[in-house]
């Protein structure tokens, strides 16, 4: 089992590839999958869960993502300790496989809304998953909400 912060390995040499002499001289620039800005959804796909199981009910689309980002929030300072793994699906909705199990600890730090932030999980999408869901293999004490995004 791994702690979420052990997974935050950044791979890749550059955020962009360039072709031509320069951008100003008609060159092209493209963002490499897995690099660039992260945009979290407005609402968590997993909202206030306090039990083990697979969430959300429909897998989250991560098509073309080089990295999958999972932000976790706990409802109280003494909530925490959830163990999770991602379940990855291909373009036909068939199971590709599972990631390792990660412990998402409560960091004891509050966000702007008063929730307690859990470890950030950043995983390379090397298997090319089209969508993912999260299996909570060990329920947290209290409730956890999770935002799934990608780069």
Residue 28 pLDDT greater than 80, yes or no: no
**Alpha-carbon torsion (151, 66, 71, 105), positive or negative:** negative
- Expressed as residue numbers, the domain containing 83 is 2-150
6: three-class secondary structure by DSSP? helix
pLDDT digits (tens, 9 = 90+) for 60-94: 999 989 999 999 999 999 998 999 999 999 999 99
Residue 16 pLDDT greater than 80, yes or no: no
pLDDT of 130 reads: 96
Question: At 143, which CATH number?
Answer: 2.60.120
State how many domains the chain has.
Answer: 1
Q: What is the pTM of this model?
A: 0.78
């Amino acid at each position: 089992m791994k702690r979420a912060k052990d997974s935050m390995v950044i791979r890749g040499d550059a955020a962009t590839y360039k072709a031509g002499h320069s951008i100003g001289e008609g060159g092209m620039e493209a963002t490499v999958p897995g690099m660039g800005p992260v945009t979290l959804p407005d609402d968590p796909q997993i909202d206030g869960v306090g039990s083990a199981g697979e969430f959300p009910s429909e897998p989250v689309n991560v098509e073309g993502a080089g990295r999958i980002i999972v932000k976790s929030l706990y409802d109280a300072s003494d909530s925490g300790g959830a163990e999770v793994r991602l379940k990855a699906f291909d373009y036909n909705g068939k199971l590709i496989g599972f990631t390792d199990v990660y412990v998402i600890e409560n960091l004891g730090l509050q966000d702007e809304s008063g929730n307690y932030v859990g470890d950030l999980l950043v995983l390379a999408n090397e298997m090319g998953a089209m969508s993912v869901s999260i299996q909570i293999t060990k329920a947290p004490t209290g409730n956890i909400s999770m935002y799934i995004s990608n780069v």
